[in-house]
């Protein structure tokens, strides 16, 4: 049975729902989201830490963060209470004076681009987090940084867009896509859907979806763990995201507990979602040395989990045309998909409706890989 729509979005994670939301706000009709699972947002979006920051070292990451923060501020009243975007701050800390010098240079670069970031001495760091231990040379603090609730943001996008006419189909796995003169034909189990435009918002599966149209997209799934501590009453009820820049371990509050993250550079690419109990031992020392209250609270393994980052070779997203006319990409967010979802969704919608995006996303083109124009970000977490 053949069905048709104008714009088909593959994937109902935070990215696909944001694209749909912005299309609907721009008055676009005939938008359909196709999701293989029976519910929205059950992929990487449901596993995210929800951090949002503008403390980056590339023009495009900073621009995407500032645009996302502005959009989130603009939607705050509509999203209601408690706030979906909480400006609890991001505090980067180092005990290494040499590292502090490069953090100082990064903060100058950021400030020149409108980021609210302070360079701190030891006293400044301890004012934000008197509970950290170990040597402190200084750090940086971004006051508009903080957290976004990934589930509530996704649900907001979806609720708002479906009430404006966007349709969503669950259990609709796109198995193949073909292009002919009339547009695209998407194979959905026994049925098919015709569309004029297709948006790839398939998260860790983006490479597979791109390959359906012969597009080479270097996005790999990479497992990432989040550890939940036991109840931790000795830390304040609201703390910034605190990143030990010397080890890469970061902590934030989640209810009466603390969430702990660390990126294992040796993790191989693959769809492995199993929780690795050895991960806890690997970071135990680093947690103990910098965050003794968190170490004392212990790790609750049953509440800890693993999810998939969708990683590109330069840890920047791929947003925009794919090379196949009418097929757009919004993929490879490399740990920044929740925080950049608002700006990314708007950019894709703008490309479809107006032909250009208000944020300059040219650096994020898929063509950069073939051209060898990779973007270098040093503040990757
Ligand atoms: C542990 C962890 C911590 C993270 N922390 C942060 C953070 O602090 N800040 C931040 O910004 N980001 C963070 N991220 C990254 C963030 O979660 C992702 O970048 C973001 O969720 C990507 O959203 P998405 O919509 O592209 O992907 P997903 O949420 O995975 O959605 C893709 C959807 O596409 C569907 N799909 C796939 N293939 C098909 C198909 N063929 N047909 C139909 N449907 C299909 C999937 O079922 C899925 O629902 C974290 C990720 C992990 C795993």
Nearest CA to ligand 1 atom 26: 203
How far apart CA 221 and CA 380 sit, in angstroms, is: 16
Distance 44 CA to ligand 1 centre (A): 3
Give the number of other CB atoms < 10 A from CB of residue 19: 31
Distance 148 CA to ligand 1 centre (A): 14
Q: Indicate the range of 140-144, 242-246, 372-376 predicted with least confidence.
A: 372-376
Give the model's confidence band at 381: pLDDT under 50 very low, under 70 low, under 90 confident, else very high: confident
**Which of 202, 262, 379 to probe ligand 1 with, by most ligand atoms within 8 A of CB?**
202
Distance 121 CA to ligand 1 centre (A): 37
Token pair 């009820």 is found at: 237
**Do residues 209 and 243 lie in contact, with contact meaning Cβ atoms separated by under 8 Å?**
no
Percent of the chain with pLDDT over 70: 100
Q: Which residues of 312-342 are buried (b: 16+ CB within 10 A; e: fewer)?
A: bebbbbbbbebebebbbbbbbbbbbbbbbbb
**Do residues 221 and 309 lie in contact, with contact meaning Cβ atoms separated by under 8 Å?**
yes
Angle at 229 between CA 260 and CA 274, to 5 degrees: 70
Give the model's confidence band at 190: pLDDT under 50 very low, under 70 low, under 90 confident, else very high: confident
Q: Say if ligand 1 is within 6 A of residue 201 CB.
A: yes
DSSP SS3 for 121 = coil
Count of residues in the chain:
381
Nearest CA to ligand 1 atom 52: 48
DSSP SS3 for 4 = strand
Mean pLDDT score, 125-153: 98
Distance 312 CA to ligand 1 centre (A): 14
How far apart CA 136 and CA 75 sit, in angstroms, is: 38
In Å, the largest CA–CA distance within the chain is 67
Verdict on whether the full-model pTM lies above 0.85: yes
Distance linking the first and last C-alpha atoms of the chain: 46
For residue 359, what pLDDT is reported?
A: 97
Partners of 197 in the β-ladder: 7
Percent of the chain with pLDDT over 90: 96
For residue 378, what pLDDT is reported?
A: 84
Residue 325 above 70 pLDDT? yes
**Do residues 159 and 20 lie in contact, with contact meaning Cβ atoms separated by under 8 Å?**
no
Q: Say if ligand 1 is within 6 A of residue 240 CB.
A: no
DSSP SS3 for 242 = strand
Mean pLDDT score, 180-205: 96
Q: In the chain, where does DSSP find H-type helix?
A: 14-25, 59-79, 97-111, 122-128, 150-163, 206-211, 278-290, 292-297, 341-354, 367-371
At 110, list the tokens.
């950021």
Mean pLDDT score, 63-91: 97
How far apart CA 240 and CA 145 sit, in angstroms, is: 9
How far apart CA 374 and CA 315 sit, in angstroms, is: 9
Residue 2 above 80 pLDDT? no
What is the pairing mode between strands 146-148 and 51-52? antiparallel
Give the model's confidence band at 189: pLDDT under 50 very low, under 70 low, under 90 confident, else very high: confident
**Do residues 53 and 66 lie in contact, with contact meaning Cβ atoms separated by under 8 Å?**
no
* C-alpha torsion sign, points 314, 317, 321, 326: positive
Q: Which atom of ligand 1 is nearest to the CA of 308?
A: 53
Per-residue pLDDT reduced to its tens digit, 301-322:
999 999 999 999 999 999 999 9
Nearest CA to ligand 1 atom 3: 48
For residue 38, what pLDDT is reported?
A: 97
**Which of 47, 335, 345 to probe ligand 1 with, by most ligand atoms within 8 A of CB?**
335
Q: What is the DSSP letter of 131?
A: T
Mean pLDDT score, 271-288: 94
Q: Say if ligand 1 is within 6 A of residue 160 CB.
A: no
For residue 1, what pLDDT is reported?
A: 58
How far apart CA 49 and CA 57 sit, in angstroms, is: 21
- How much is the mean pLDDT over the chain? 97
Q: Say if ligand 1 is within 6 A of residue 146 CB.
A: no
Closest to 176 measured CA to CA, from 187, 184, 189, 168: 187
């Amino acid at each position: 049975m053949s069905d048709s729509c104008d714009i088909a979005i593959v994937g109902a994670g935070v990215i696909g729902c944001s694209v749909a939301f912005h299309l609907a706000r721009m008055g676009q009709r005939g938008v359909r989201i196709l999701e293989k699972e029976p519910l929205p947002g059950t992929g990487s979006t449901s596993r995210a830490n929800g951090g949002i920051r503008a403390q980056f070292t590339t023009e495009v990451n900073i621009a995407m963060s500032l645009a996302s923060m502005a959009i989130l501020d603009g939607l705050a009243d509509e999203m209601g209470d408690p706030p979906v975007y909480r400006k609890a701050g991001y505090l980067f800390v180092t005990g290494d004076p040499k590292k502090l010098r490069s953090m100082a240079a990064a903060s100058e670069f950021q400030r020149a681009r409108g980021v609210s970031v302070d360079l701190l001495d030891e006293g400044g760091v301890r004012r934000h987090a008197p509970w950290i231990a170990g040597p402190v040379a200084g750090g940086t603090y971004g006051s508009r940084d903080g957290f976004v609730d990934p589930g509530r943001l996704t649900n907001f996008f979806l609720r708002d867009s479906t009430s404006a006419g966007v349709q969503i189909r669950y259990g609709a796995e796109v198995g193949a896509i073909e292009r002919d003169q009339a547009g695209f034909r998407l194979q959905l189990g026994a049925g098919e859907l015709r569309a004029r435009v297709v948006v790839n918002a398939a998260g860790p599966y983006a490479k597979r979806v791109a390959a359906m149209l012969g597009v080479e997209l270097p996005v790999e799934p990479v497992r990432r763990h989040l550890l939940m501590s036991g109840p931790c009453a000795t830390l304040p009820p609201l703390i910034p995201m605190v990143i030990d820049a010397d080890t890469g371990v970061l902590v934030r509050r989640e209810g009466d507990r603390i969430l702990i993250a660390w990126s294992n550079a040796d993790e191989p690419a693959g769809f492995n979602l199993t929780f690795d109990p050895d991960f806890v031992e690997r970071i135990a020392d680093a947690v103990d040395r910098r965050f003794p209250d968190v170490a004392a609270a212990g790790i609750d393994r049953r509440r800890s989990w693993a999810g998939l980052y969708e990683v590109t070779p330069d840890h920047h997203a791929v947003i925009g045309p794919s090379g196949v006319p009418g097929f757009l990409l919004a993929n490879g967010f490399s740990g920044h998909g929740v925080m950049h979802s608002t700006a990314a969704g708007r950019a894709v919608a703008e490309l479809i409706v107006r032909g250009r995006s208000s944020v300059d996303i040219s650096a994020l083109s898929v063509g950069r890989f073939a051209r060898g124009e990779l973007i270098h970000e040093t503040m990757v977490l």
